[in-house]
Amino acid sequence: MGRIWWTEPDSSHAFRLSVVSVVVTAAAGIGGCVAYGVTGSSLMLCYGLENLVDFLSSIVVCWRFFSPSGTTSAHDADLRKREKRASIAISFILALLGIGVIVASIEDFTHGSETLDNLKKIIITAIFSVFVFGTMSMVKFHYAKMLQSASLQKDAVCSLIGTVLSGSLFVNSLIIMKESDAWWLDPLIALGCGTAALIIGMQAIYYAYVVQGIPVLNIKWWMTSQGDGTDEFTGRELTPEERGEVPADKESEMVGASGNDEDRSRNEEGSGDGEKPESEIV
């Protein structure tokens, strides 16, 4: 029972996870940008930008799973109508993340090697980030699978990219401390991560806009869309219960059950007016 958040997560668990992600990424993003202003380290700028974009992704997931007071089946059905918009929004954010990381990696290439003092600070930051973002990535991927959420899966990709970049910062900082000529390894890995994020994001946007014909550039769609009746994660048709509808057969069963109750009630009332059963005749 104590591990229900892992074995049987629901929308409220995903919401709490996204709140934690919002706080952590905001702190890391602001911290990275402040560190860049103080040290001039382009690696810290890349770190800060990545986390600020990840922060936006976490905000979207917060909206998608907004359940501060718990959830019900009806509430889950309403939240599921946000999945398509949330998934596409995070696709845009992934593309933005890719552009930001690519730009920052180019800045790394032009900046050159970091100073030894900066590298020590980067290593400490990287160790903390690998643990935190690695853990969040794992939980997000698990929740995405359990809750069949494409938006949460894409948010997990954002966190995974942050984990990879942090790991790259750590490993390459150690390498650079021993061999300063290897400083280009980190921006090279960052460039690869940025390119991957840009491709993933743009591919999803292209599929939604061109293949599916979703008006992702129309403000009205973002404000009023109720989903397309399919599971964004698997592509299957949603059941009436998942759409928050009552199936016709169940509705008839409910009506039938209500009618049977009324008939039973009338029979009981009628039996009181007639003769008593033999067992009750004295």
pLDDT number for residue 209: 94
| Cα of 29 vs its chain's centroid, Å | 18
Residue 90 has pLDDT above 70, yes or no: yes
Residue type, 36: Y
Residue 77 has pLDDT above 70, yes or no: yes
pTM above 0.85, yes or no: no
CB-side neighbour CA atoms (13 Å) of 159:
30
Q: Which has more confidence, 12 or 282? A: 12
Residue range 81-99: average pLDDT? 93
Residue 269 has pLDDT above 70, yes or no: no
d(CA 156, CA 121): 26
pLDDT number for residue 58: 96
Residue 278 has pLDDT above 70, yes or no: no
d(CA 137, CA 156): 5
**Domains in the chain: boundaries:** 4-224, 248-274
Provide the pLDDT confidence category of residue 255 given band limits of 50, 70 and 90: very low
Nearest to 57 by CA among 76, 29, 32: 29
d(CA 163, CA 159): 6
Provide the pLDDT confidence category of residue 2 given band limits of 50, 70 and 90: low
Provide the pLDDT confidence category of residue 10 given band limits of 50, 70 and 90: very high
Residue range 201-211: average pLDDT? 94
Provide the pLDDT confidence category of residue 50 given band limits of 50, 70 and 90: confident
Residue 116 has pLDDT above 80, yes or no: no
First to last CA, the chain: 58
Q: Which has more confidence, 57 or 50? A: 57
d(CA 259, CA 267): 12
Highest mean pLDDT among 123-127, 174-178, 243-247, 275-279: 123-127
Selected from 1.10.3470, 1.20.1510, 1.20.1110, 2.60.40, the CATH number assigned to the domain covering 4-224 reads 1.20.1510
Q: At what angle do helices 116-147 and 11-39 cross, to 10 degrees?
A: 160
Q: Which has more confidence, 226 or 182? A: 226
Provide the pLDDT confidence category of residue 238 given band limits of 50, 70 and 90: low
Provide the pLDDT confidence category of residue 282 given band limits of 50, 70 and 90: very low
